[in-house]
Chain A
Amino acid sequence: DQQVKQNSPSLSVQEGRISILNCDYTNSMFDYFLWYKKYPAEGPTFLISISSIKDKNEDGRFTVFLNKSAKHLSLHIVPSQPGDSAVYFCAAREGAQKLVFGQGTRLTINP
């Protein structure tokens, strides 16, 4: 059972426009959510996070929104840049240390 789901395997966006990546989860006990970015042949790197007690967190061009009632979070990147092309994973914290990851969404930014 996939507790964290990213239903879009890929997304293509024009440079300068907004990229919106979505993530759904089923476990209401998750208390912290994170987004990671992964380039080919590299490990994932942490991008941004949000506590379950908040509904928005912003860091520069990146904003994460959390809708607890819908069990849905999204990552907004604006404006999108070519260097943003990567695979994005959302993750949710379960228990003290464990993270549960989604399947990933491949974002391609077109010039």
Chain B
Amino acid sequence: DVKVTQSSRYLVKRTGEKVFLECVQDMDHENMFWYRQDPGLGLRLIYFSYDVKMKEKGDIPEGYSVSREKKERFSLILESASTNQTSMYLCASNRQGARYEQYFGPGTRLTVT
């Protein structure tokens, strides 16, 4: 079974803090993704990575950066957290090519005060 884990289920940070969200997958997947989920907006793609050290912007990359130093780990960084980044953050991964379904982690509920 594919397992995608996220470092925290709940996180509370102050405005201006630097925030790291970590994601690890154990199935040797090439692709990894970061989404945020907001009511009425569904899941929106922030960044994705198709290989180590490679990254591509998604639909809403502003205010975020990412890091992928190892194949199994994909980090989302909020350089200076703001209240409008309060959201549910979901990490996902999949294998490149044949199948298209993405496997999701349980999510991190981030609150910025």
A contacts, CB < 8 Å to B: 4, 6, 9, 32, 34, 36, 41-46, 49, 89, 91, 93, 97-104
Q: Supply 18 A–B pairs (Cβ within 8 Å), ascending by A.
A: A6-B42, A9-B40, A34-B100, A41-B106, A41-B107, A43-B4, A43-B92, A43-B104, A43-B105, A43-B106, A43-B107, A45-B104, A93-B100, A97-B50, A99-B100, A101-B43, A101-B44, A104-B42
A97 in contact with B40 given A43-B90, A43-B107 (CB within 8 Å): no
Minimum Cβ distance to chain B for residue A53 (Å): 14
* Minimum distance in angstroms from B11 CB to a CB of chain A: 14
Main secondary structure of the interface of A (DSSP, over half): strand
How many Cβ-Cβ contacts under 8 Å join chain A to chain B? 54
> Are the CB atoms of A103 and B42 closer together than 8 Å?
yes
Q: Is B31 an interface residue (CB 8 A)?
A: yes
* Contact between B48 and A103, CB atoms less than 8 A apart: no
Q: How far is the CB of B29 from chain A (nearest CB, A)?
A: 11
